[in-house]
Amino acid sequence: MEPFTTLSGRAAPLMQEAINTDVIFPARFLLVMEKRGLGRYLFHDYRRGADGAVTGAFVLDRPAFAAASILIAGAAFGCGSSREQAVWTLLDAGIRCVIAPSFGEIFYGNCFKNGLLPIVLDGETVARLAPQAEDGARFEVDLAAQTVRVEGEAPISFSIAPERREALLNGLDDIDEILADSGEAIAGFEAAHRRRQPWLFEDQPAATPEAH
C-alpha cells in the first residue's frame, strides 16, 4: 500500500449528501475483478448520459478538476453497501483524500485498508472549503501534523485514531500490520509445524489418469 504523508493539489467540490457506494461504483460493474482501471467507473451514472457518453458536466470532468486529488464532499459520504471497490475506484482515479462531515462506517474503515485518507471536519468548515475549492485554491493535507491548509490561510486541524494514522504514514495494510507485530511468532510457528508434520509439506506426486 502506498504511504500517505502529505498531499498537495486541487480539491473538487461535490457537496451532495449521502452519496452511497452504488453511486461511487455501480453494482453492475462488480464482476470487474482488477483494481487497475476501475477509475473509469467512478461516479459512472453521474458522468454519462443515456447514450453512455460522458457529458462533461460532472465536476471531475471539468478541466479545472481533471487532476484533482482531494474531494470535498457532503455528509454521509460512502454510505450504503460495504463494497470495497468504492475505495479502489476513487484511488484509481487519483483521489487520495476525501474531506466530509461524516462517512459511511464501513467505507471509512475500507479507506484505511487501501491508503485513502478520509478526513472528518464539521459541516460549517466543509461548507466553507467547498467554494474555495471551486475558486481554484490549492489544498495541502499533512497527515503527520494532522492539518488541512488552504493557501493563504491558517491550518485546520483534524483528528484520526493513532493506529490508523501510523498505518497510513507507513503504508501498512491489515496483513502488513499483522506481520509487523507478529511476524517472528508466525514464522516460528510455521517452522515448528514443519518439524512436527514434515509430510504435510512434501511435494505431492502428479496425479495419473485412471485406466478405463
How far apart are the C-alpha atoms of 212 and 209, rounded to whole Å?
Answer: 9
pLDDT for the residue 90: 98
Residue 117 has pLDDT above 90, yes or no: yes
Q: Where are the domains of the chain?
A: 6-174
How far apart are the C-alpha atoms of 147 and 143, rounded to whole Å?
Answer: 7
- Do the Cβ atoms of 128 and 13 come closer than 8 Å? no
Instruction: Identify the bridge partners of residue 100 per DSSP, sorted by sequence position.
Output: 120
- Do the Cβ atoms of 7 and 71 come closer than 8 Å? no
pLDDT digits (tens, 9 = 90+) for 119-138: 999 999 999 999 999 999 99
How far apart are the C-alpha atoms of 57 and 48, rounded to whole Å?
Answer: 9
pLDDT digits (tens, 9 = 90+) for 175-207: 665 666 666 777 777 777 788 888 877 764 444
pLDDT digits (tens, 9 = 90+) for 62-87: 999 999 999 999 999 999 999 999 99
Tell me the residue type at 12: A
What count of Cα atoms within 13 Å lies in the side-chain half-sphere of residue 95? 29
Structural fold of domain 6-174: Aconitase; domain 4 (3.20.19)
How far apart are the C-alpha atoms of 110 and 53, rounded to whole Å?
Answer: 30
Tell me which of 34 and 205 has the higher pLDDT.
Answer: 34
Q: How far is CA 150 from the centre of its chain?
A: 22
pLDDT for the residue 174: 66
Q: Taking the model in full, what pTM does it have?
A: 0.84
pLDDT for the residue 183: 64
Q: In the chain, what are the helix, strand and coil shares in percent, each to the nearest 5?
A: 40, 20, 40
Three-state DSSP class for 193? helix
How far apart are the C-alpha atoms of 152 and 146, rounded to whole Å?
Answer: 18
pLDDT for the residue 176: 64
Residue 109 has pLDDT above 80, yes or no: yes
Directed axis angle between helix 162-170 and helix 105-114, to 10°? 40
How far apart are the C-alpha atoms of 169 and 163, rounded to whole Å?
Answer: 10
